[in-house]
């Protein structure tokens, strides 16, 4: 089915040339063939297809690992020939792997490390992956559990684990992890203990978006501290529930966590500055244009209005507060102006090499996250598209938001970038050169050392009309006796509201 080079139907025992190794074009043909897989088959055949496809996925992962190792070796040789110091060789290879596999650069580095461990140090695990007997995730687990061992101990770990392949193949993932830890501890107990101690230095807190305008606040803690925090929250929830609190156990634990971390009497009274981006009509005239919270993403307009209203309600005062305190608002608005119809932020520039605070904040709101494709990391650097050392200006047009890893990856030889100018595009609407390209008005093209090109668009902001709209929507008719911006929220906002430019 998949062999296009004459190696398929030779017949048993008949001599003939071995089929040539498949090229990327051949593999693409296999992918297309899978789209037309026969569906008019028995259930027995369907189960067999599921099994073979699962094995094919594992074999493909093994091939990707081998290719990644070869790419790393080749790129290091090219960098050595270019005079790159030994300590910096290999920089950017993980990012190339990530772009090719449509993963984040951080994940690309992990995939490259996984490939090196499997191909160079764990031949039995790699053979199991290549044969389809082991999934990529389970191979990743085995590498993770042996990461603290040196090369010789890891080879012994690999051999001991696969002494009985049939038994290993029947283990669940949790049992496989337990078996791997036992072997690793027997081989080098000191390294395993030292790894556990080093892990405490990696403790931290992370925040990532969750569905339905929620977030996951995750704390990576030593086991004793994590269990202690959980026990304290559990005790509080059980006590309040016993006293008749109507909230669920999980709600009480979440609210208690917020209250104890922020020091507030209730979770709703936490004073914060949320970088909320929304149109004036969505804020004041009940328009349905979604809003954006940088670092989180799109939220419904009504949710954004409720967020501000809740801030106002929290500041109204409930007890011993003075009238002056009751009028203060626990919210701030920052006016950011966009071009009508495109939703593009008005540009800022600077003569400094490092973006000043105002321009840095502008880039953070426009780009929202690292601009490298498939990288959702927070913005840490404002990267010059044309490097400052080559005369690139510190302007919004020549800056892109980037995480540390993506910014450093671009420092390797062979990486280039440019901001695309689509001023002659039919959909530009007459904007000046480079003012709008793509959904967000700013497009950067990144070229890797192998010549592959990837373009990233700044995400669209609220207020941008579709590119091919035939005519701008007409004004909405106001009800008799009401102004266009008359809304309940606007009346609530007539308190002392802090505006910052």
pLDDT at 313: 59
Q: Please give the C-alpha separations between residue 229 and each of 199, 201, 222, 260, 357, in angstroms, as whole numbers.
A: 18, 18, 11, 11, 37
pLDDT at 79: 94
123-149 as b/e: b if 16+ CB within 10 A:
ebbbbbbbebbbbbebbbbbbebbebb
Assess contact for 419 and 443: CB atoms under 8 A: yes
Assess contact for 114 and 140: CB atoms under 8 A: yes
> What is residue 431's DSSP assignment?
P
Dist. CA 422–CA 424, nearest whole Å: 5
Interval 365-397: pLDDT, tens: 888 889 999 988 888 898 999 988 888 888 888
Average pLDDT over residues 415-427: 70
Assess contact for 176 and 142: CB atoms under 8 A: yes
pLDDT at 4: 39
Q: In which band, very low, low, confident or very high, does the pLDDT at 183 lie, cut at 50, 70 and 90?
A: very high
Assess contact for 168 and 162: CB atoms under 8 A: yes
DSSP for 172-198, written as a single string? -HHHHHHHHHHHHHHH-HHHHHHHHHH
> What is residue 292's DSSP assignment?
E
Closest listed residue to residue 463, CA positions, set 439, 442, 488? 439
Q: In which band, very low, low, confident or very high, does the pLDDT at 335 lie, cut at 50, 70 and 90?
A: low
For residue 451, the SS3 value is coil
Angle (CA) 73-76-82 rounded to 5° is 145
pLDDT at 10: 42
- Least confident residue range of 27-31, 303-307, 395-399: 303-307
Indicate if the pLDDT at residue 482 is higher than 90: no
For residue 456, the SS3 value is strand
**φ/ψ of residue 81, rounded to 5:** -65, -30
- 49, burial (CB in 10 Å: exposed 0-12, middle 13-18, buried 19+): middle
Q: CB under 8 Å, gap of 24 or more: what pairs does 424-431 form? A: 427/467, 427/468, 429/341, 429/342, 431/339, 431/342, 431/344
Interval 197-210: pLDDT, tens: 888 888 898 888 88
pLDDT at 358: 77
Average pLDDT over residues 182-202: 87
pLDDT at 331: 52
User: Counting every residue, how long is the chain?
Assistant: 501
Interval 225-279: pLDDT, tens: 999 999 999 999 999 999 999 999 999 999 999 888 888 777 666 655 556 676 6
Q: Please give the C-alpha separations between residue 3 and each of 23, 46, 358, in angstroms, as whole numbers.
A: 11, 22, 59
Interval 441-477: pLDDT, tens: 789 999 999 999 999 988 877 765 555 444 444 444 4
pTM: 0.68
pLDDT at 501: 36
Tokens of 494: 């007539």
Dist. CA 310–CA 330, nearest whole Å: 9
pLDDT at 132: 93
Half-sphere exposure of 310 (CA within 13 A, CB side): 14
Average pLDDT of the chain is 78
Secondary structure percentages of the chain, helix, strand, coil, to 5: 45, 15, 40
Indicate if the pLDDT at residue 488 is higher than 70: no
Assess contact for 206 and 179: CB atoms under 8 A: no
Share of the chain above pLDDT 70, in %: 71
pLDDT at 286: 73
Assess contact for 324 and 315: CB atoms under 8 A: no
Tokens of 83: 């005079």
Q: In which band, very low, low, confident or very high, does the pLDDT at 437 lie, cut at 50, 70 and 90?
A: very low
User: What are residue 457's DSSP bridge partners?
Assistant: 443
**Which residue would you say has higher pLDDT here, 387 or 352?**
387
């Amino acid at each position: 089915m998949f062999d296009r080079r004459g190696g398929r139907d030779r017949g048993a025992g008949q001599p003939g040339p071995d089929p040539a190794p498949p090229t990327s074009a051949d593999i693409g043909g296999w992918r297309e063939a899978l789209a037309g897989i026969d569906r008019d088959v028995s259930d027995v055949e369907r189960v067999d297809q599921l099994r073979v496809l699962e094995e094919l996925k594992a074999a493909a992962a093994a091939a990707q690992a081998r290719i990644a190792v070869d790419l790393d070796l080749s790129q290091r040789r090219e960098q050595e020939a270019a005079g790159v110091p030994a300590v910096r060789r290999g920089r950017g290879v993980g990012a190339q792997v990530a772009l090719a596999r449509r993963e984040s650069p951080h994940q690309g580095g992990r995939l490259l490390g996984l490939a090196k461990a499997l191909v160079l140090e764990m031949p039995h695990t790699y053979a199991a992956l290549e044969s389809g007997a082991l999934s990529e995730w389970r191979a990743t687990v085995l590498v993770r559990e042996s990461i603290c061992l040196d090369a010789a101990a890891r080879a012994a770990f690999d051999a001991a684990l696969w002494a009985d392949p049939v038994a290993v193949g029947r283990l669940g993932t949790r049992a496989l992890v337990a078996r791997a830890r036992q072997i690793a501890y027997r081989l080098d107990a000191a390294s395993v203990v030292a790894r556990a101690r080093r892990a405490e230095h990696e403790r931290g807190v992370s925040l990532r978006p969750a569905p339905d305008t929620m977030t996951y606040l995750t704390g990576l803690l030593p086991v004793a501290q994590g269990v202690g925090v959980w026990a304290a929250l559990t005790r509080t929830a059980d006590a309040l529930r016993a006293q008749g609190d109507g909230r669920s156990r999980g709600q009480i634990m979440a609210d208690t966590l917020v209250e104890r971390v922020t020091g507030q009497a209730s979770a709703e009274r936490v004073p914060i500055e949320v970088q909320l981006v929304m149109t004036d009509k969505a804020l004041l005239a009940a328009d349905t244009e979604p809003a954006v919270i940088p670092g989180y993403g799109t939220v419904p307009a009504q949710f954004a209005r409720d967020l501000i209203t809740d801030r106002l309600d929290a500041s109204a005062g409930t007890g011993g507060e003075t009238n002056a305190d009751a009028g203060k608002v626990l919210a701030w608005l920052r006016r950011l102006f966009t071009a009508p119809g495109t939703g593009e932020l008005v540009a800022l520039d600077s003569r400094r090499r490092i973006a000043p605070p105002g321009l840095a904040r502008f880039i953070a709101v426009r780009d929202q996250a690292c601009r490298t494709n498939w990288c959702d990391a927070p913005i840490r650097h404002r990267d010059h598209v044309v490097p400052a050392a080559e005369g690139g200006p510190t302007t919004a047009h020549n800056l892109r938001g980037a995480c540390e890893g993506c910014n450093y990856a671009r420092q390797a030889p062979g990486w280039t970038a440019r901001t695309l100018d689509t001023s002659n595009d039919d959909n530009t609407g007459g904007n000046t050169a480079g003012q709008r390209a793509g959904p967000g008005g700013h497009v950067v093209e990144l070229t890797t050392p192998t010549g592959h090109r990837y373009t990233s668009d700044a995400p669209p902001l609220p207020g941008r009309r579709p590119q091919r709209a035939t005519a701008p929507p007409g004004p909405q008719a106001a009800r008799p006796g009401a102004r266009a911006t008359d809304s309940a929220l606007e009346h609530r906002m007539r308190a002392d509201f802090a505006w910052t430019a």
